[in-house]
Structure 1
Amino acid sequence: MTIPHDEAEKHILGSLLNRPALVSDVVEIVQPADMYAPRHEVIYRSIITMDARGLAIDPLTVGEYLTGTGELAAAGGALYLADLYATPPATSNAPYYARIVAEHATRRRLHAAGTRIVQLSASGEGDVAEIVEQSRAEVDAVSATAAATVTYVGDTIDDTLDALEQPSPATPTPWTDLNDIIGGWRPGALYVVGARPGIGKTIVGIEAAIGLAERGHVAFSSLEMPRDELMHRILAHQALVPINRMDSRTLTDDDWRKIAGVRAAIGAMTVAIDDRGAVTTTDVRAHARTVSRRGPLVAVIVDYLQLMASPRGERRPRHEVVADYSRQLKLLAKELACPVIALSQLNRASENRQDKRPSLADLRESGAVEQDADVVLLLHEHEEDDTAIDVLIAKNRHGARGSVELTRRGWFSRMDTAQWSPTRALNSQPPQGGPR
């Protein structure tokens, strides 16, 4: 069951090529994936991207853009773009045709979802409750494409006041002093944690994941570190066993006793790790959606932003790609209604300054990251004591800026308050340094 509507799709594209100002109206109704004809999807996606970047839109410029992405042939070629432009429909009807295309797309998705549900139920395999959950997810995936609605302030005031009477939806960070400034990890917010290599941004990501997992499920995309190395750090954090002894396989009897003591807790930890290297925001979203089907999703963590892969066919400068990803991660936070914590590498500029403390300008490959983030935390290592780490709150959309001092216990993959010094952690263990 295909339910295509080729003419309606052509009407939309012809209207946009003739009157680009309609893009904002049409994109609220129909998405690129709603197009049935593959070439129409390619053209429409390109027009939306060009509009978002403020580029002129006509058959020539769209053709040049598609040539740059290597997709001109897939879009039907320059002549097809000219044909769409040369026979313009009544552009005022573009929203009407957009609704037709969106409706047909929804019908196709419903039919496909129904087919998959029938296959699941007829297979005679698997747990019934799991099949029900998978079926619900199929229908939810269809309803997620619903068009935006108009909501007035007066319609939401009662809900807002009711929400103010409830506890804060933010999840506290592991550090009380930091909570006092940023208020915790807020749903729908993008947090960027920036640092030079080896300062401890992955430790912050692990600490955040462990704390957030007490409230629900965490989707952790580890682009830099494979799963086994990440597990070593989680074990070190929880059991207070040095990472180097795990890596070298020189664990003592006391180490094994500590690990045995936390094994059950780690086994119940709801942190889902995706350690594929070259992922895009689409992959991050898909992983998060999969995790959300197992239980409430409370956070998405990406380690780290600059390692995310460019979309296939992209030939843009790297800083533009990173800028797009930071914006998409912000939108993902709103879409999933959970905090997204993106670890980010800083450039070398601060190392060449008299004041070595990092600033927003040091965010590597993209100044757009600081614009999209709700909160930016920058890590700074003290010159006189490399275990002392300042967390600089360089941006805080929810309140004041400031700084918090933490103590890095690298061998135990921990960032603790400056006064933390449990005897059992430090006795006979490396007191400083360690993986970061």
Structure 2
Amino acid sequence: MADIDAILPSHSLDAEKAVLGTFFLNDSAVDQTQSILSVSDFYDPRHQEIYRCILKMVGEGLPIDPMILIYEFERKGILEKVGGAVYITGLEQSVISPGNVRHHAKIVRDCSFRRRASNALLKLSEHAASDISEPQEIAARAATLVDGFAKGLSFTTVLSSEESATIAYDHLISEDENKGFGIPTGLRKLDWLLHGLQPGGLYIIAARTSVGKTSLAMQIGLNAHNNGYGVSVCSFEMDALEIMQKIEAQATKIPVEKIQYGKTSDGCKITEEEITQVADFLERFRQSNFFIYDDSMASAEEIISQCLAIKTKQPQIGLIIIDYLQLMNKKEKSENRNLELGHITSSLKKMAGKLKIPIVLLSQLSRGIEKELKPRRPRLSDLRESGAIEQDADVVIFIHRTSEQNECVVADDIELIVAKARKAKVGICNARFVKEITLFQDVDK
């Protein structure tokens, strides 16, 4: 006959009893486990009800006493449902060492995680078996389910003032020259203003069409890659080949026209040496953690699921780039486009915080700025279908071609305007955009 425990969902009744029994011996044990355990983590329904009542008693300032607990259950008429008075008072006998309560709590939480994982996989199996499910829908559902049961995997801890002060002091005396510095963009003054791209930040790069939004984003991605970070690019506008051709031009300084067409518009052909140079770069790039997702029909929910799935599979991913906001749509479209985009930017901001990595989101500017008689620098109010974009963004960077203001300035002169910076500095960085290699370069002024 099969062992009944082998076919039951993962659980440890002994660990559950030890945790609850410890609460009767030491009130402070509740403080040690509240950041780890929730009521649903207990497998036995009796233990769920007992833990729920204990948390209520703590909230009301009552001592954790078996007799008070029994009285509460009698008053509610559910004493027998939770095992009776003998069962509750006997929980103390399950405790071998009260000092191990946190360890026992983690056993309970681990079992709870395994049950959630099993349930998620069962649901996914049922979804995959459905003939009406498309492969992309199954993949998106898988990422959503994985994210759902993984939410409670890491244990959070409430830090005391002593622990918090220790962390702050260790950071203060650290000799790391780059402490607090995020992922470098590769542009010196921009990095000085931003202190690099910070974990959990939502960075908006906005400009009119054909000014270089995608080129700047890919340059930042390439620089992150060169500094050892994994990168995930989600593109609604360009396919993987177009993106790679920009990156090849930036990395090798070979004109993008040569890479795309074999020659420039004035007839200058790509040389064997240049072909070898690009091939060598691609051979090195082949081994890197740089992912491109170029499904222009994907919904915002699918993009988020894809990002979560890639990060789960490739923990070294340190940067996500999305090109671009106005091409994103939710599965259930809203009559109010501003509200819809607001939901998208809010979700992306939450994802950045959850994954603890920066997200670079490209955005168009309103066409209204093009209709104005006198050219000017962009403002935050120029963000197209702005909605909550400005509110959700940690940083907003405008790309502004200065020749629009002064005809004497060559067309390649650019201002990178940091118009909003939640934890950094606002300011203007002068740069030059070399179109033939799609590369932004620092300019000292």
With normalisation by structure 1, the TM-score equals: 0.63
For 1:284 and 1:320, the matched residues in 2 are separated by 18
Q: Which residue of structure 2 lines up, in the alignment, with residue 246 of structure 1?
A: 259
Counterpart in 1 of 2:441? 416
Match of 2:134 in 1: none
RMSD: 3.5
Please, which moves more after superposition, 172-181 or 262-271? Answer: 262-271
Query: After superposition, what is the alpha-carbon deviation per residue over 1:325-376, rounded to whole angstroms, capped at 9, x for unaligned?
Result: 1111111110000001101111123221524211101111124111111111
2:213 to 201, 205, 208: 201
Q: Name the residue aligned to 2:244.
A: 231
In structure 1, distance between residues paired with 2:185 and 2:439: 13
Select 1:402's aligned residue among 407, 414, 427.
427
SS in 1 for 2:275: helix
Identity rate, percent: 26
1:240 CA displacement: 1.6
Distance 1:281 1:294 in 2: 21
Query: Residue 405 and residue 139 in structure 1: after superposition, are their counterparts in 2 closer, same or farther (change >3 A)?
Result: closer
Aligned equivalents of 1:310, 1:400: Cα separation in 2:
33
State the alpha-carbon separation in 2 of the partners of residues 262 and 305 from structure 1: 30
> CA 1:247–1:364 in 2, change beyond 3 Å: closer, same or farther?
same
Instruction: Please tell me the residue identity of whatever aligns with 1:159.
Output: I
Equivalences for residues 139-150 of structure 1 within 5 A: 142-145=149-152
- Asked if structure 2 preserves the Cα contact closer than 8 Å seen for 1:350 and 1:357, the reply is no
Give the drift of 1:266.
Answer: 2.3
Is residue 414–residue 430 contact of structure 2 (8 Å, CA) maintained in 1? yes
| Secondary structure at the counterpart of residue 420 of structure 2 | strand
Count of matched residue positions in the alignment of Structure 1 and Structure 2: 306
Residue type matched to 1:222 in 2?
S
Residues 181 and 196, structure 2, Cα contact 8 Å, conserved in 1? no
How far off is 1:176 after superposition? 0.8
Please tell me the residue identity of whatever aligns with 1:416: Q
Q: CA deviation at 1:115?
A: 7.2
Query: Which residue matches 1:176?
Result: 188
CA distance in 1, matches of 2:362, 2:160: 35
SS at match of 2:397: strand
Q: Is 1:382–1:390's contact at 8 Å kept on the other side of the alignment?
A: yes
How far did residue 286 of structure 1 move?
2.5
Give CA deviations for 1:41-98 in whole Å, capped at 9, x if unaligned. Answer: xxxxxxxxxxxxxxxxxxxxxxxxxxxxxxxxxxxxxxxxxxxxxxxxx9xxxxxxxx
Q: Does 1:361 align with 2:368?
A: no
Asked if residue 299 in structure 1 is aligned to residue 319 in structure 2, the reply is yes
1:163 shift after superposition? 3.8
TM-score (norm 2): 0.61
SS in 1 for 2:197: coil
Q: Report which of the two structures shows the higher radius of gyration computed on alpha carbons.
A: 2
Tell me if structure 2 keeps the 8 A contact 1:278–1:309: no
Give the SS at the match of 2:399: strand
Q: 2:277, 2:157 → 1: CA distance?
A: 56
2:334 paired residue among 293, 315, 323: 315
Contact 1:347 1:364 in 2 (8 A): yes
Distance (whole Å) between structure 2 residues aligned to residue 297 and residue 161 of structure 1: 29
Give the secondary structure class of the aligned counterpart of 1:258.
helix
Unaligned runs of 5+ in 2: 1-6, 10-37, 41-75, 77-108, 124-144, 264-269
Please tell me whether the aligned partners of residues 218 and 291 of structure 1 are also in contact (alpha carbons under 8 angstroms).
no
Counterpart residue number, 2:90: none
